[in-house]
Amino acid sequence: AAALRANGQSPQAVAVLENGVATFKTDKEMLVAFAKALAASGQFERALNVIDRAIDPAAPGWNELMVKGAILDQSGRNDEARLLYGQALKIAPEQASVHANLGLSYAMTNELDKAESELRLAVKMRGATTQVRQNLALVVGLQGRFDESRALFAAELPPDQVEANMAYIKSLLTQQNRWDLVKQQG
């Protein structure tokens, strides 16, 4: 199922995991994977129902809380997501993935200073992935610090991908500036 999801075949991953969950109704790993697959296919409410089945209210796990937070973020419920990331960090304060998700949550609401702070914490931690470091580069670039962003990307990617990412960031900023002008004129 993870391979299907990674290849953009979310509907197939959902079908495989749905069968698995029907057989293993209380398997937390299966429920978490199913919730992720549902969220990847845009079925957020259903994903929340499934992840809630994986969370033990008496002893919630950091991973289940983080996954629920990510689903809430994708649903635009960022404040609720951040509460869950906070709970997850109390359980596992050195989990790079939780700090990274919290950082992305802030980035979604254009709180770029907070996003950068969380992502910088995450990249220093054991378990930080190349994706976390690239997300930091993105957030730095969105703040207009292009040289620093380029250097961060260059540590992770070949030159052609670095330049493609820099062009993408600049296009995002240009697009945002256009929307800001529309708001001012409206």
User: Per mean pLDDT, which range of 35-44, 86-95, 169-178 is the poorest?
Assistant: 169-178
Burial class (CB in 10 A: 0-12, 13-18, 19+), 8: exposed
pLDDT in tens, 99-134: 999 999 999 999 999 999 999 999 999 999 999 999
The model's confidence at residue 43, banded by pLDDT at 50, 70 and 90, is very high
20 has pLDDT over 80: no
Q: Are 37 and 17 in contact (CB under 8 A)?
A: yes
Burial class (CB in 10 A: 0-12, 13-18, 19+), 147: exposed
Domain boundaries, the chain: 1-93
92 has pLDDT over 80: yes
Q: Which long-range contacts (CB under 8 A, 24 or more apart) does 153-161 make?
A: 156/130
The model's confidence at residue 161, banded by pLDDT at 50, 70 and 90, is very high
What pLDDT is recorded for position 58?
95
69 has pLDDT over 80: yes
The model's confidence at residue 46, banded by pLDDT at 50, 70 and 90, is very high
15 has pLDDT over 80: no
Per cent of the chain over pLDDT 70 is 89
The model's confidence at residue 14, banded by pLDDT at 50, 70 and 90, is confident
CATH superfamily of 1-93: Tetratricopeptide repeat domain (1.25.40.10)
Contacts of 11 (CB under 8 A, 6+ apart): 41
pTM above 0.85, yes or no: yes
Residue among 50, 40, 41, 110 at smallest CA distance from 78 = 110
What pLDDT is recorded for position 23?
76
What pLDDT is recorded for position 10?
67
Mean pLDDT of 58-73: 97
Q: What mean pLDDT, rounded, does the chain reach?
A: 91
Cα-based distances in Å from 104 to 4, 62, 66, 113, 159: 24, 17, 12, 11, 25
